[in-house]
Amino acid sequence: MPVTVTVALGDRSYPVVLDTSGLTGLAAALSAATPRRRVVLVTEDVVGPLWADAVVAALSGFVVDRVVLPSGEANKGVETWYRCVDAILRLGVDRKTPILALGGGVLGDLVGFAAATVLRGVPFVQLPTTLLAMVDSSVGGKTGMNHDVGKNLIGAFYQPVLVYAALPTLDTLPVAERRAGLGEVVKTALLDPTPGADLLGDVERSADALREGDPNATARIVGACVAIKAAIVAADEREAGQRAWLNAGHTVGHGLETAAGYGVLRHGDAVGLGLVLETEWAVRAGLCADAALPERLRGLLLRLGLPSEVPSLDRRVVVDAMRADKKTDGASIKIPVPARVGQMTLVDVPVAHLDALLGASLGSG
């Protein structure tokens, strides 16, 4: 039986369906989300050949137009967004035609932004096919794309009407991509504010099973992460407060990702490294009382099969990329760091002091 988590946003509330058996419930879930029987399925050139036919077959009773975009972080930019909206407009859609995004976080973010901008907004459905997209990016309505200056600098908050995660789509995901998704799992487990919960301990106890892609452990952790994200988004949709916790690891992570060149360092891998470096800094700065936490996180990344050492990059290029973070007010950046597991502190770090977050990695500052 599929599990459904609701993102409670009043009349914009929507279900996140986690289906361990596949796509059998998709047509019913889509019918409940929209009265329309004609939809546009947008996917990318890796996921499309693997899963688009299965999605179309599951959507019996629907007329499905298809659009295929180039895959990969390096294609999460304005050219691909233009290709997407151009193709959608040429299909002759109207303001009620649902756009379905079948793919990982790159495709979902980009198509979400296309759905937000075509005709000033058409209904949007996320069909996430990576672990990262299931646990994080498909939920919460952050859409957008990269610019040379920095990650995700162009975008909009635009909530989907439905998220349908068919867990068996993970069967074709390359191992390194699946493991990269565990970077966002560790982030969510670190910040989980649920009283009495111990998701970080659970991830540690399940680390071997998660690294090897055990379906039961994976489904359980996806459910836990989605529930946490749904609650945070429902309480703070526009990131006025607690939603900023979800940016843990991302200031350093985005800096590393941008400096390496989009598509070189996986987003989830970069977030994992960012969590370790930002937590080390928090301990040095006296903001985190748990001095053992950085090593605990590093050890967990290692067990999960993620990189735990920072790749060799030009420190100045990384710091410049960190400065371009969209959470800056020009003088400082609000960075969430753990005071302890389950409790983040938002710290205003002056842009002139960002270098300190990299610590002794990447040579001296």
Catalytic residue status for 315? no
Strands lying side by side in the sheet with 162-166: 3-7, 14-19, 162-166, 124-128, 99-103, 38-44, 63-69
The stretch among 86-94, 176-184, 189-197, 293-301 that binds ligand NAD (CB under 6 A) is 176-184
Nearest approach, Cβ of residue 132 and ligand NAD (Å): 4
Task: Pick the binder of ligand GLY from 243, 254, 266, 298 (CB under 6 A).
Answer: 243
b vs e for 55-82, b when ≥16 Cβ sit within 10 Å of the residue's Cβ? bbebbeebeebbbbbebbbebbbeebbe
Distance in angstroms (rounded) separating the CA atoms of residues 109 and 153 = 12
272 close to 311: Cβ distance less than 8 angstroms: no
Nearest approach, Cβ of residue 35 and ligand NAD (Å): 27
- Assign 118 to helix, strand or coil: helix
Nearest approach, Cβ of residue 249 and ligand NAD (Å): 11
267 binding ligand NAD? (CB under 6 A)? yes
Q: Side chain identity at 341, as an amino acid letter?
A: V
230 binding ligand GLY? (CB under 6 A)? no
Backbone φ, ψ for residue 68 (5° rounding): -120, 130
Catalytic residue status for 75? no
Task: Pick the binder of ligand NAD from 85, 132, 252, 259 (CB under 6 A).
Answer: 132
Q: Which of residues 27-46 bind ligand NAD (CB under 6 A)?
A: 44, 46
Distance in angstroms (rounded) separating the CA atoms of residues 98 and 38 = 8
Q: Is the dihedral of CA 285, 291, 295, 298 positive or negative?
A: negative
298 close to 276: Cβ distance less than 8 angstroms: yes
**Options 267, 278, 280, 298, the catalytic residue:** 267
Residue listed under structure tokens 């019913």: 28
Distance in angstroms (rounded) separating the CA atoms of residues 268 and 168 = 20
Which of 116, 144, 159 lies closest to 9, judged by CA? 159
Distance in angstroms (rounded) separating the CA atoms of residues 75 and 69 = 9
188 binding ligand NAD? (CB under 6 A)? no
Nearest approach, Cβ of residue 131 and ligand NAD (Å): 8
19 binding ligand GLY? (CB under 6 A)? no
Task: Pick the binder of ligand NAD from 5, 29, 30, 47 (CB under 6 A).
Answer: 47
Catalytic residue status for 250? yes
Catalytic residue status for 73? no
Two structure tokens written together for 343: 């409790």
Nearest approach, Cβ of residue 4 and ligand GLY (Å): 20
169 binding ligand NAD? (CB under 6 A)? yes
Distance in angstroms (rounded) separating the CA atoms of residues 32 and 55 = 17
Which residues fall within 8 angstroms of residue 239, CB to CB, at 6 or more apart?
Answer: none
> What is the CB neighbour count within 10 angstroms for residue 241?
11
The stretch among 84-92, 190-198, 240-248, 352-360 that binds ligand GLY (CB under 6 A) is 240-248
Q: Which of residues 125-144 bind ligand GLY (CB under 6 A)?
A: 136, 140, 142
Catalytic residue status for 239? yes
Closer residue to ligand NAD, CB minimum distance, 15 or 48: 48
Closer residue to ligand NAD, CB minimum distance, 243 or 283: 243
Nearest approach, Cβ of residue 177 and ligand GLY (Å): 17
Task: Pick the binder of ligand NAD from 43, 97, 126, 152 (CB under 6 A).
Answer: 152
Catalytic residue status for 267? yes
Residues making contact with ligand GLY (CB under 6 A): 136, 140, 142, 243, 246-247
Residues making contact with ligand NAD (CB under 6 A): 44, 46-47, 50, 71-73, 76, 103-107, 109, 129-130, 132-133, 136-137, 140, 142, 151-152, 169, 172-173, 177, 180, 184, 267-268
